[in-house]
Amino acid sequence: MPELPEVETVKRGLNQVSRNQTIQGGEVLLKRTLAHPVSIDDFITGFSGKAIAGWYRRGKYLLAEFSTPLNPNSDNSQNPEFSDLQTFSDGGLAVHLRMTGQLLWVSQDEPLSKHTRVRLFFPNRQELRFVDQRTFGQMWGIPPNVEISKIVTGLQKLGPEPFSEEFSIKYLTTQFQHRQRSIKTALLDQKLVAGVGNIYADETLFLSGIPPMTRCAELTPTQIETLHAQLVQVLKTAIDAGGTTVRNFLNVAGVNGNYAGQAWVYNRAGQPCRVCQTPIERLKLAGRSAHFCPRCQKTSN
């Protein structure tokens, strides 16, 4: 599943190619992709003739704000956090890529993939295609002046953004107190921190020297401070690399992310640690895999 760096990469690409472009129409090829409204006609009517004022990211969600082409009343040039926004005055669009979703900016002459689910048409015969092999991805049409989180209800459950002031050492310390679940499981909880998944949780824990099975309540103040700093840095590094492509992730131009080639532990079970040469191990925690170096992340107990 695309995580924060991949979704951020897509967001930035979409702002480059589609911002201020007017949507001229669309086509829905798989109806169950629509989470709201469920009517294909209502979905297409909601965006036809609207321009893209800008794209935002909240956790793993992508959100497009619309504006009227003759009177754009939205400006995201300062790139505010989406959490600062409650409504879109001209409506908008939300997308969750789930496991295999891709948003690709292509020519309308490009042959359709059999996994194409939704098409949005733009000037100069360009289009934005939502391609999704496993069909778990969803799209929401957001009506004007309606609270966004009432339409995209998953937004209500998200914790703070990793780059926000709210995501502080003090916040993590409070959240970890008395928690007996593993730190790896905690980092995957979107209520704790938005956007982090398997890849960057593994990478963060390696760079922090913390075994993934460590209970949250056992973390020392120094470990929590290190964890906070490393998580922010890992995500920034991955964004700079254009994200990670393990199976399906592509940016809007159809290009793979480059972070996987420099990953410390993720998806490297059996391979030598890049620091100490000890083979990387893999285990299951709450049904999810965790990759770690048994030497670099050795418990102090």
Segment (H or E) for 253: none
The string of pLDDT tens digits covering residues 196-240 is 999 999 999 999 999 999 999 999 999 999 999 999 999 999 999
- Rounded to whole angstroms, the Cα distance separating 13 from 55 reads 9
- For 4-156, which CATH superfamily applies? MutM-like, N-terminal (3.20.190.10)
- Residue written as token pair 């992340």: 297
Domain 169-292: give its CATH architecture.
Answer: Orthogonal Bundle (1.10)
Output the six-digit token pair for 258: 């480059």
pLDDT in tens, 97-124: 999 999 999 999 999 999 999 999 999 9
Instruction: Give 270-300 pLDDT, tens digit per residue.
Output: 999 999 999 999 999 989 999 999 999 987 6
User: Cα–Cα distances in Å, from 149 out to 143, 152, 177, 202, 270?
Assistant: 12, 5, 29, 30, 43
Q: pLDDT grade, residue 38 (50/70/90)? A: very high
Q: Is residue 11 classed as helix, strand or coil in its secondary structure?
A: helix
- Over the stretch 127-181, which tens digit does the pLDDT of each residue have? 999 999 999 999 999 999 999 999 999 999 999 999 999 999 999 999 999 899 9
Q: Where are the domains of the chain?
A: 4-156, 169-292
Q: What is the end-to-end Cα distance of the chain in Å, rounded?
A: 34
Query: What's the whole-model pTM score?
Result: 0.93
* C-alpha closest to that of 139 among 58, 32, 8, 246: 32
How far is residue 242's CA from residue 210's CA, in Å, rounded to a whole number? 26
96 is in an annotated binding site: no
- 241-255 pLDDT per residue, tens: 888 766 567 778 777
* Residues involved in catalysis: 2-3, 60, 288
Is 115 annotated to bind a ligand? Reply is yes
Identify the pLDDT of residue 74: 52
